[in-house]
Amino acid sequence: MNGTRGTLIAFEGGDRAGKSTQAKQALQWIRETLREPAVLWHFPNRHSATGRLLDTYLSGSTELTGQVAHLLFAANRWERVEELWQLLDSGSHVILDRYAYSGVAFSVAARGLDPEWCLAADRGLPSPDLVLFLDLDPQLASKRGNFGEERYEQLVIQQRVRQFFLDRLFQSENWVRISAEQPPDQVQLQCRRAITEMLPRVRSLPLKLL
């Protein structure tokens, strides 16, 4: 432990953009090459009580109103916030495979909810130091394995999600857009470059809040 805080790195994007694969490789790289502690979390966490309910919602076996689903996704993040702060304070990097940005993008795109109402449910969570937005044309994503299995994996929804990411979220300076159409090794290289650039810049600054 070197006395500095860990950083919060979020992977975002539509379904089948390769987030989980890239996040795992980034985790391994931080641990083995940078030799710093790091963990990887996936949201929604399907193993908690809220997550088990969300899992049945996503698979289509449970119906929820848009608002209830949205608040459950947010609760699924809030229930881990103390552990998240502890990890960051202890000097561990935390990589997130989806976060509150998916929360607002999907609830707006798929359920027609009001963006401001959606954002309010996540306000106060730690704000990522870096958001790696893996951008993939939904037409291409839909040709990747298993697309269409879950509730939101429909072309029109994914197109609206992508538009929301591009128009509404991809604005702040801590967002980096990486084309997920490239070969996976190339995507990983760009993720590492963005992390390398971010680390010395943010570590002496306190984390912001969403």
Q: Which two tokens stand for residue 190?
A: 């760009």
With contact defined as beta carbons under 8 Å apart, do 46 and 128 qualify? no
Q: Which of 113, 90, 107, 74 is nearest to 36 (CA)?
A: 90
List residues binding ligand DGP (CB under 6 A): 15, 43-44, 58, 69-70, 73, 98, 102-103, 106-107, 150, 152
Residue whose CB is less far from ligand DGP, 167 or 173: 167
12 in contact with Na ion (CB under 5 A): no
- Of 10-18, 46-54, 65-73, 192-200, which part binds Na ion (CB under 5 A)? 10-18
Question: Minimum CB separation from ligand DGP for residue 73, in Å?
Answer: 3
With contact defined as beta carbons under 8 Å apart, do 171 and 56 qualify? no
Amino acid at 161: V
Residue whose CB is less far from ligand DGP, 73 or 133: 73
Classified as helix, coil or strand, 12 is strand
122 in contact with Na ion (CB under 5 A): no
Question: Using CB distances below 5 to 8 A depending on partner kind, what does residue 164 bind out of ligand DGP, Na ion, none?
Answer: none
Question: Using CB distances below 5 to 8 A depending on partner kind, what does residue 103 bind out of ligand DGP, Na ion, none?
Answer: ligand DGP
Residue whose CB is less far from Na ion, 145 or 200: 145
15 in contact with Na ion (CB under 5 A): yes
Question: Minimum CB separation from ligand DGP for residue 20, in Å?
Answer: 7
| DSSP state string for 95-146 | EEES-HHHHHHHHHHHH---HHHHHHTTTTSBPPSEEEEEE--HHHHTTSTT
HSE-CB of 62 using CA atoms within 13 angstroms: 14
**Binding region for Na ion (CB under 5 A):** 15, 20
